[in-house]
Structure formats: C-alpha cells, structure tokens
Amino acid sequence: DVQLVESGGGLVQSGGSLRLSCAASGFIFRESWMTWVRQAPGKGLEWVANINQDGNERNYVDSVKGRFTISRDNAKNSLYLQMNSLRAEDTAIYYCAKLVRYPTNWFDPWGQGTQVTVSS
Amino acid sequence: DIQLTQSPSFLSPSVGDRVTITCRASQPFSSYLAWYQQKSRKAPNVLIYSVSTLQSGVPSRFSGSGLGTEFTLTIDSVQPEDSAVYYCQQLFIYPWTFGQGTKLEVK
C-alpha cells in the first residue's frame, strides 16, 4: 500500500524553526514529484510547495518564499520541509502528498498530517 | 493568482438527492482541475482529476465537468457517507490554489 507518514510538528515560538519530515513507502519515491499542503485551524487548504524527482525544481507559494525550503532524500524515501522565521499565521496541519503529473496534475495520496503551532 | 470560488458554501440534501457544487475561476484555464473530499478533518482524498476523470475506487455517483472558468462536481443520489467538505483545486498556474470549500451534510 502507498503510505505517507508526516512527523516533526509541534509547538514553536514566533521566529523559530521547525523541520517536518514525510516518510514514503509503497511506491517508487525517487520517480515521484512531491508536495506540501497546509490547513489552518477551521480554514481551507493551501498549497505550500512542491519538488521534482531529483530536487532541482522547487516551487513555493509567495507567503513562504525565503522562509521555507522543501527538500528530499531519495535514498531514505523521505521528503522534508524546513520552516524558518515562523509566524503565527503558519499555524496549521501540514500534509505531504504525492504529486501525480500525468496527464494533468493532482495530489494522491495524502499523509495524515502533522500539527504545527506557532505561538506569538 | 487564479482565485477559485465555490458555491454554495453549505448544502444539506436528503439521501438520494442530486447535488451540484460549482467552482468558478477568476481566469480561464484548461483541464488542470481536481476535486477532493475531506471527511471530519482527516486528510483529503482525490475524487476527480483532469476536470472529469474519476479516481479509481471512487463511486460512480460522483462526476465532474466544465471548462474555461466554470467547473462542477455532481453527486447523483447522495448517500450519508458523502457528508464531508469538498474542495476544487487548479493546478495550471502557480501558485496552485484551492476553492474555499463546500460543506455537505446529508440529512
């Protein structure tokens, strides 16, 4: 079965840093684009970032550019999100997902999410 | 950025009703639209991709259509287990964006 398991969330003070991880199994990770999506409390979904198979193409939503870095380790079947200069508005559940890119784009499957809380 | 506006924001149909959720885009785009279902704050699951292609394992009562700036998700004969929040998403132009969500509560 395809499985994505996030970890690394927690409570951090404003201005602090956190590194999220996403462990992948059940598919050929090194051949897959991956993505992060977040959901603030009581709010909808927001795409955060994606990364291609070898890590040399990365895209971000403007609100996290310069603060967040998406990366991957194909040898460990793992995806990461380094979050620096955290703000209260970054408080959310963070989901990793596999990005399917043919014939169009969509996210499937998603992990169960990890909670990030930024205190101000 | 492409803004996606879903309507209605809330629906409360009876079992067996036909339900339509609309997703309107601030500018036209082609094919790169997906629909997701999120139950009880669990992780979302894709229902439809490429506007109208049903994801494997999704019941055939779900269907998608549209082009340009208007897209629809239809549920024929809605069931109690369809109670959830539904989101459309465009993956055509960065930043990829979601609609604000439609909450469906089946009576």
Average pLDDT, chain B: 97
Q: Does the structure show a pLDDT above 80 at B32?
A: yes
Q: Closest approach of chain B CAs to the CA of A63, in angstroms? A: 10
Q: Does the structure show a pLDDT above 90 at B30?
A: no
CA distances from B46 to B5, B49, B54 (A): 19, 7, 9
CA distances from B56 to A9, A76, B59, B62 (A): 31, 29, 9, 12
| Spatial separation of the C-alpha atoms in residues A115 and A41, rounded to whole Å | 10
Confidence at residue A26, expressed as pLDDT on a 0 to 100 scale: 97
Q: Is B23 near chain A, with CB under 8 Å?
A: no
Confidence at residue B41, expressed as pLDDT on a 0 to 100 scale: 75
Interface with chain A: mutation pick from B52, B87, B89, B91, highest number of A CBs within 10 Å:
B91
Confidence at residue B78, expressed as pLDDT on a 0 to 100 scale: 98
Confidence at residue A17, expressed as pLDDT on a 0 to 100 scale: 98
Confidence at residue B31, expressed as pLDDT on a 0 to 100 scale: 93
Confidence at residue A102, expressed as pLDDT on a 0 to 100 scale: 86
Over residues A1-32, the pLDDT tens digits come to 999 999 999 999 999 999 999 999 999 999 99
| Spatial separation of the C-alpha atoms in residues A39 and A8, rounded to whole Å | 16
Q: Taking residues B22-38, what's their average pLDDT? A: 96
Q: Residue window 36-55, chain B: list those with CB within 8 Å of chain A.
A: 36, 38, 41-46, 49-50, 55
List CB contacts (< 8 A) between B91 and chain A. Answer: 104-106
DSSP B20-61: EEEEEEEEEE-S-EEEEEE-TTS--EEEEETTTEEPTTS-TT
Helix (H) / strand (E) element for A37: namely strand A33-39
Over residues A24-72, the pLDDT tens digits come to 999 999 999 999 999 999 999 999 999 999 999 999 999 999 999 999 9
Confidence at residue A98, expressed as pLDDT on a 0 to 100 scale: 98
Share of chain A above pLDDT 70, in %: 100
Q: Residue window 71-100, chain A: list those with CB within 8 Å of chain B.
A: 93, 95, 100
